[in-house]
Every structure is written in C-alpha cells, then in structure tokens.
C-alpha cells in the first residue's frame, strides 16, 4: 500500500474504473514500457494490471490513491513476471546441455544507455525508472516497492555503478577497435 | 548538481517515454477480462485465499486444459475474452490412441495428458508378473519411445513438460529420474536409499508434481513424504515435516489428502511446504462422508467420490453436503477426470453399453460418448488428468 494512514487526505471524488483507465492508460503504459523495455510487453503489463485492478476496484478506490495503488500493482506484476521468466530460463537449462545464445551487440548500440539498462536486474531497473522518470523520492520508491530506504539507495547506487562500468568498458572497447 | 549519467538517464527515459505512442485503451477487453477474473474469484474463494497467501497446496493432480490460452500479446479486445474450447480427453480403445479426431495405433494402456503433452505407457510395474512397461510421447502425431527404463512408473508435471519416472535399474536400487518433455535426451536422477525396501515395487508409492514443478513422493515403508525441487541445480529431496499424513495427491493449488481410519479418505488438508520441507497447515476440508477414494478438481473447488448410493460431486466452498449425480438408470462405474470448470467425467454402464458422462456440479449429467458393450471397459484407458 502506498497510503500514509497517519495523514488525513482531502476527499477525492472516486473515479469509475472506466474513467480511471481512460485517464491513466497513457501514463501507465509509458512507465510499463520503460520497465520492460518493450512496447508489446509494456502493453501486456498494463493490461494485466488493469484487469486485476478491475477485479478489486472497490479496494483500489478505498485506498484513496487509486493511481499509486495501481502503479504498485503494476510494479508487483512486473517483478513477479521477471521472477517467472528467470524460473523458466532455469528450467530451459535443466536436463540438457544447451549452448547459451551469444548476444552480439550492435556496435552502434554500445554506448546506448537504453541497451545497458536492459542488463540491470529488474528491481534495479524499477528503482531507476521510478527515480529518474517518475521523479519519486527514495522514500516514495521504498513505499512503492515495499523496501527500506537504505535498500532503495543501495539498488540505485549499484545500478548506476553498473551502468557506469559498462559504459566505460564499451567505450574502451570501441576506442580499441577504431582504426587509427 | 546532477551527475552526468543521472542527467543522461533522465533525458533518455523521458525521450523514450515520449516516443512510445500508447495504443488505444482496450476498455472493453479490460472490463470483460476483469469481470471474468472477478467471477472466477467468487467461484473459488478457497483457491483465491490460497494464492493470496502464497500457499503451495498439496493434493490431487490437475486437470489442465489441452488448449493453449490465447496470446497475451494481442492488442485487440477479442482474443483474450474468448472462452477456451472444452478440452478433449485422450483415450485408448482397441489399440488406438484417440486425441480429438486423430487415431494412433498403440499397445499402451495408460494415458497421461497435461497442457498439450500426451504420454502413454503400457502396464504398471508388476514385478511378480514379470511384466514390463514402456513409455511413449505423442510427438508430431506419432508415438515416440521415451528413453525411460522399462518397468518405470511415470508422472507428468502439471505444466506437461517434466516427466518423473520411478524405476529399479538394479534389484537393490530405486531410482527417480526426471526428464524434460518431450526432449528427453538428458535426465537428472536420484537413487534412493530406502532401508529394507530398496527393491520392493511399492517402496515409492506415489509420484506427483505441484504447480511449481516440485516433485513429491512418499516412501511407503517409512510413510514419509518427500519433496524435490528438481529445477534447482544440486538440490536433493527433503522430507516433508509436519504433514498430517502421506501425500496421496498433489495438485496445482496443492493439497494433502489425508487417509483416515482403515484407509478411508476423511479430509483434505490445505497447506504449504516451504523450501526446507516444512508443511504448514492452512485449512482442513472434510469429505462429506468417508470414502475410499476421493478426487479433487485441479483448483480444489470440487471433490468427487463414490457415495453410499451414487457418485457425488461436492462443491467445497458452500460447506454443504455433496450432490448425488443423477445418472438415471445408469450404474456408476468409475470416475475419469475433472474438467477445469468443475464438470466431472465418469464412466457409467447399463445392460449393454458403457458411456462416458459429463456431470455438472449441480448433479445434472449428460452422455458424451458411447463406449460399447459390457466388456468394453477392459479395452479402455483414459487420460489420467485432463
């Protein structure tokens, strides 16, 4: 839950599901796209989230902050899905010796931060999207992801360090390969 | 001051988000699917509660639709809201495996089917009779022999992609092998050390998968259930501690069915088994009346058992006694399987024919298939699940 029950909120008109979906679809879709890195996957993520939100719409509206509630649902859905994918990948490796697919990066992508973002762990990526796109504070991110503030800082710091290291590595490699 | 990378990141995310044109809101689909999810939830509070609590329930094997769910990636309204076609029950009759309209010759007499995977075997292991068993997978419309040892008892996972085989590669050993279905070139196996009962064919009396691809089995002589998370590299089976009895059946939602006095099934205990094998009970559901066998639907919503005068379907959530099935003049023969919506499939007989019947939780039944003469059942084998 993202609600702070210790503070009184001004009473907001309760939107219907249709009103909410119409109004927030674009915003949720864009966040979902940034989380998944893929437009189709992003659309799936929003759809799955809103279907679940419809199912418990009373609960969503009772929270008093439907957008924050649904955003949290979407992040949970995203992280759960990433866990399932990880498990499926593990299953693929079971019982057979398969050659791991070799990812050959496009040289033009080497410095592309978007590509490097895809290499982060799901929680790290979620923290960065919430921090640098949604502009949430560390406390707000901690609430949304049900983590401590310290853990959020740790994820953010690790993610940024990892991106810097990969950027530096890619740059060095590119310099080495460029003809003199 | 913003660090260069952080500034770059902010700009990148904003640009990407701006460039991502949202598709139209599929409002109709969202409402329909949401309503369907809500209805399912109301029908199945037991399952919903279990899922919400992250419960891994132990119990009966699942009935899984043989029809793939509609694609998640379809952006339009219609596909996700379509109802899946009723699953077809694969069965063997007079040397032919019948799956829908396809007929494939086979000598097997056991059918396992899950999520589109069909696996058939011939006899169960019987050391005393010296019979052997072989397993085949239905691949590309043909039955392909599996590299599973003869005399193996097999179990297909809930998702239909893992096969566990119980065999005795030598007279003094018991082996559980796990294969990925249908690519079965490689296996993981574990040789069990069961004091005093290594080569008894009933040393391991049960093999079953839960919805998370964990394998459960009982060592009969020790009357002790074990769980093996086979997907975790290097993992070993661990004893299930704190369970009220041996695991008789395992299902997607996971439920332990507990035998009572003289082997009668009196109740089912819902619970979860954590990674270290500790069972935590969540709920107990009594059978409406003690019975020798009871079958639970894949979601745990319904149970079917042989009542005093007629077979019974019990809708678990209503807390009421079960509903005797209205078979008219037909006699009950045996239960076949549950369909995902709670309908039960069972075989009945009258003076001169057997029929496959579909019975709804209300007790209403209708014939699905005529099976033939009085002795026809000797030649029949149905999919164990689904």
The b-or-e profile of A90-109 (16+ CB within 10 A means b, else e) is ebeebbeeeeeeeeeeeeee
Interface with chain A: mutation pick from B20, B35, B74, B228, highest number of A CBs within 10 Å: B20
Count of beta carbons in the 10 Å neighbourhood of residue A49: 22
- List Cβ<8 Å contacts ≥24 apart for B222-230: B222/B194, B226/B277, B227/B273, B227/B277, B228/B176, B228/B190, B229/B275, B230/A94, B230/B162, B230/B178, B230/B188
Structure confidence at residue B142 (pLDDT): 75
Distances (CA, A) of B286 to B210, B247, B316: 21, 16, 9
DSSP SS3 for B362? coil
**Model confidence pLDDT, tens digit, residues A131-160:** 999 999 988 888 887 777 787 888 898 889
Q: B301-312 pLDDT, tens per residue?
A: 777 877 777 788
Cross-chain CB nearest to B37 (options A39, A55, A160): A55
* Distance from the A27 Cα atom to the nearest Cα atom in chain B, whole angstroms: 9
Task: For A50, name the nearest residue in chain B, comparing CA atoms only.
Answer: B30
**Does the distance separating the beta carbons of B180 and A95 come in below 8 Å?**
yes
| Residue B119, strand partner residues | B112, B137
C-alpha–C-alpha distance, residues A151 and A128, integer Å: 13
pLDDT, position B28: 85
Contact criterion met (CB below 8 Å) for B249 and B255: yes
Q: Are B133 and B166 in contact (CB under 8 A)?
A: no
Q: CA-to-CA distance for B56 and B379, rounded, in angstroms?
A: 37
Residue of B nearest to A92 (CA): B180
Contact list, A116 vs chain B (CB under 8 Å): none
User: What pLDDT digit, counting tens, does each position of B199-253 carry?
Assistant: 444 566 677 887 777 888 877 655 678 888 887 777 888 888 887 766 666 655 4
Residue in this structure with the two tokens 């998640």, named with its chain if needed: B72
C-alpha span between B106 and B93 (Å, rounded): 9
Spell out the residues 6+ positions from residue B119 whose beta carbon is closer than 8 angstroms to its own.
Answer: B111, B112, B113, B135, B136, B137, B138, B146, B154, B156, B163, B181
Residue of A nearest to B33 (CA): A51
Contacts of B180 in chain A (CB under 8 A): 91, 94-96
Spans of chain B below 70 pLDDT: 1-3, 40-89, 109, 115-116, 121-133, 148-152, 159, 168-173, 181-205, 220-223, 245-268, 270, 282-283, 285-293, 298-300, 317, 319, 340, 351-352, 372-386
Q: Among all chains, which residue has been given the structure tokens 């599901």?
A: A17
Judged by CB atoms closer than 8 Å, whether chains meet at A55 and B29 is answered as no
The ipTM assigned to this model is 0.81
To the question of domain A17-177 being in CATH 3.40.50.300, the answer is no
Neighbours of B128 (CB within 10 A): 6
| B246 vs B250: CA distance, rounded Å | 11
pLDDT at B336: 75
Q: What is the CA A141 to chain-centroid distance, rounded? A: 11
CA–CA distance, B162 with B241 (Å, rounded to integer): 25
Give how far A77 is from chain B: nearest CA, Å. Answer: 14
Closest Cα of chain B to A117: distance in Å?
9
**Cα distance between residue A10 and residue A29, in whole Å:** 27
pLDDT confidence of residue B38: 74
User: Where do the structural domains in chain A lie, given as residue ranges?
Assistant: 17-177
If interface means Cβ-Cβ distance under 8 Å, which residues of chain B face chain A?
A: 3, 5-6, 8-10, 12-14, 16-17, 20, 22-23, 25-27, 29-31, 33-35, 37-38, 41, 72-73, 75, 80, 161, 178-180, 183, 185-188, 213, 230-233
- Omega of the bond leading into B182 within 30 degrees of 0 (cis): yes
Which residues in chain B have Cβ-Cβ distances shorter than 8 Å to A133?
10, 13-14, 17
Chain B positions in Cβ-Cβ contact with residue A43 (cut-off 8 Å):
23, 73, 75
Which residue ranges in chain A fall short of pLDDT 70? 1-12, 80, 83-111, 173-180
Check if the beta carbon of residue B112 is closer than 8 Å to that of residue B118: yes
């Amino acid at each position: 839950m993202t609600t702070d029950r210790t503070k009184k909120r001004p009473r907001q008109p309760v939107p219907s599901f249709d009103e909410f979906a119409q109004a927030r679809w674009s915003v949720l879709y864009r966040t979902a796209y940034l989380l998944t890195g893929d437009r189709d996957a992003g659309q799936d993520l929003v759809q799955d989230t809103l279907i679940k939100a419809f199912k418990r719409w009373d609960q969503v509206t009772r929270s008093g902050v439907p957008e924050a509630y649904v955003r949290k649902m979407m992040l949970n859905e995203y992280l759960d899905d990433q866990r399932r994918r990880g498990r499926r990948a593990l299953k693929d490796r079971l019982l057979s010796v398969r050659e791991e697919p070799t990812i050959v990066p496009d040289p033009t992508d080497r410095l592309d931060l978007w590509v490097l973002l895809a290499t982060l762990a799901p929680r790290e990526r979620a923290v960065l999207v919430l921090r640098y796109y949604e502009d949430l504070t560390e406390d707000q991110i901690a609430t949304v992801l049900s983590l401590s503030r310290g853990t959020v800082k740790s994820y953010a710091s690790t993610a940024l360090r990892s991106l810097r290291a990969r950027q530096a590595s890619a740059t060095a490699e590119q310099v080495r390969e460029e003809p003199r | 001051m913003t660090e260069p990378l952080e500034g770059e990141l902010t700009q990148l995310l904003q640009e990407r988000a701006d460039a991502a044109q949202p598709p139209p809101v599929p409002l109709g689909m969202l409402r329909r699917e949401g309503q369907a999810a809500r209805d399912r939830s109301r029908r199945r509070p037991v399952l919903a509660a279990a899922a919400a609590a992250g419960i891994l329930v132990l119990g009966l094997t699942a009935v899984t639709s043989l029809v793939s769910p509609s694609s998640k990636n379809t952006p339009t309204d219609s596909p996700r809201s379509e109802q899946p076609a009723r699953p077809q029950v694969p069965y063997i009759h007079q040397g032919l495996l019948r799956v829908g309209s396809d007929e494939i010759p086979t000598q097997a007499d056991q059918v396992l089917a899950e999520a589109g995977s069909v696996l058939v075997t011939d006899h169960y292991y019987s050391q005393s009779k010296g019979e052997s068993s072989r397993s085949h997978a239905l691949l590309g419309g043909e039955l392909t022999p599996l590299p599973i040892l003869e005399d193996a008892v097999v179990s297909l996972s809930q998702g239909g992609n893992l096969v566990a085989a119980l065999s005795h590669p030598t007279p003094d050993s018991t082996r559980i092998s796990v294969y990925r279905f249908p690519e079965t070139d490689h296996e993981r196996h574990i040789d069990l050390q069961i004091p005093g009962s290594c080569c008894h064919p009933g040393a391991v009396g049960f093999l079953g998968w839960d919805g998370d691809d964990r394998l459960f089995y009982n060592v009969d002589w020790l009357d002790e259930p074990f769980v093996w998370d086979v997907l975790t590299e290097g993992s070993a089976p661990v004893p299930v501690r704190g369970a009220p009895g041996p695991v008789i059946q395992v299902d997607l939602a996971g439920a332990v069915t507990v035998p009572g006095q003289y082997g009668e099934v009196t109740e089912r205990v819902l619970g979860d088994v954590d990674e270290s094998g500790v069972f935590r009970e969540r709920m107990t559901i009594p059978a409406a009346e003690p019975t020798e066998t009871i079958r639970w639907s894949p979601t745990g919503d319904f149970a079917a058992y042989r009542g005093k005068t007629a077979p019974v379907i019990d809708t678990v959530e209503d807390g009421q006694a079960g509903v005797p099935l209205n078979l008219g003049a037909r006699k009950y023969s045996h239960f076949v399987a549950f369909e995902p919506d709670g309908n039960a499939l069972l075989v009945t007989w009258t003076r001169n024919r057997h029929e496959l019947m579909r019975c709804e939780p209300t007790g209403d039944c209708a014939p699905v298939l005529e099976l033939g003469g009085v002795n026809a059942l000797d030649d029949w084998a149905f999919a164990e699940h689904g």
